[in-house]
Amino acid sequence: MRRARAAVLALLAASAWAAPGDARRSGFEDMGASTQAMQREDAMNPAMLWAAEGEQLWGRAPSASSRSCAGCHGEPAALRGVAARYPAWDEALARPVDLNTRINLCRQRHQGQPAWPAEHEQLLSLETLVGLQSRGMPVAPRPDPRMAPHAARGEALFRQRMGQLELSCAQCHEERAGGRLAGSPIPQGHATGYPIYRLEWQGMGSLWRRVRGCMAGVRAEPFAAGSVEFTQLEAYLANRAAGMAVETPGVRP
């Protein structure tokens, strides 16, 4: 299984993350060769420290009276394809949720544990482990009519000018993608590698952390972690990147 995966990854590494003829580019293409090498090889990807931690957490029951993740899900590989279809609809909350909200809901509903706060190291570790199971698969949000109005709202947010600087996501990541901002290349902003090991953070972080940085950068009030608004934006981004390969865990500058 590992060898087959390695072969698939080697093929993917040789080709682009989007199909030929597709105008979409992963942020991977905008990085220098040595940063790309860090992502390409598990022995060089610092995010694998978090994946290894995730594997430990997966098999450990959080308390004597609760099950471990493995107790319900079996092996992590059983979640192959799951990260690729998030964010997804949650029946009980009657709204879309992203992957780390879903992990926290599992903790609360099935393990009797409190939700981890945003960017908690253990939450990132599990998010990395689950995301890794979808690596190489196409981003594939399920066509769910309940998600459609939320993804539409997410697109509106993507195009809405925000903050004191009155800039929208689209103005940088659509109109000026390929250009530069203060010396750094502007990527198209496809969220295919999250959670990522970001060189700027010298650590691991979720898409929410990255978007918070962007929103603070334009002097806007960032969306709250796990909020409906943020999840709507995420739902739009998933549709926008549909078909591109999941790169989790990515490395980015």
- List contacts with other proteins (CB under 8 A): 31-35, 37-38, 42-44, 46, 48-49, 52-53, 119, 165-167, 171, 176, 179-184, 199-203, 205, 209, 212-214, 216-217, 253
Closer to other proteins by CB, 76 or 96: give it.
76
Given a contact cutoff of 8 angstroms between Cβ atoms, the answer to whether 181 and 198 are in contact is no
Classify each residue of 191-201 as buried b or exposed e, where b means 16 or more C-beta atoms within 10 Å of its C-beta. bbbbbbbbeee
Q: Shortest gap between Cβ of 152 and other proteins (angstroms)?
A: 27
Classify each residue of 80-94 as buried b or exposed e, where b means 16 or more C-beta atoms within 10 Å of its C-beta. eebbbbbbbbeeeee
Closer to other proteins by CB, 84 or 168: give it.
168
Q: Shortest gap between Cβ of 176 and other proteins (angstroms)?
A: 6
Closer to other proteins by CB, 151 or 211: give it.
211
Q: Shortest gap between Cβ of 164 and other proteins (angstroms)?
A: 8
Q: Which residues pair with 82 in a beta bridge?
A: none
Distance CA 147, CA 14 (A): 34
Closer to other proteins by CB, 75 or 166: give it.
166
Catalytic residue among 69, 72, 169, 214: 214
Given a contact cutoff of 8 angstroms between Cβ atoms, the answer to whether 39 and 32 are in contact is no
Given a contact cutoff of 8 angstroms between Cβ atoms, the answer to whether 198 and 205 are in contact is yes
Given a contact cutoff of 8 angstroms between Cβ atoms, the answer to whether 2 and 135 are in contact is no
Phi, psi of 217, rounded to the nearest 5 degrees: -65, -30
Q: Look up tokens 């918070």; give the residue.
A: 212
Q: Shortest gap between Cβ of 208 and other proteins (angstroms)?
A: 12
Q: Shortest gap between Cβ of 246 and other proteins (angstroms)?
A: 21
Other C-beta atoms within 10 Å of 253: how many?
13
54: Cβ contacts below 8 Å, ≥ 6 apart: 76, 125, 126, 127, 128, 129, 130, 132
Distance CA 69, CA 60 (A): 7
Closer to other proteins by CB, 26 or 238: give it.
26
Which of helix, strand or coil describes residue 196?
strand
Assess whether 169 carries a catalytic annotation. Answer: no
Catalytic residues: 214
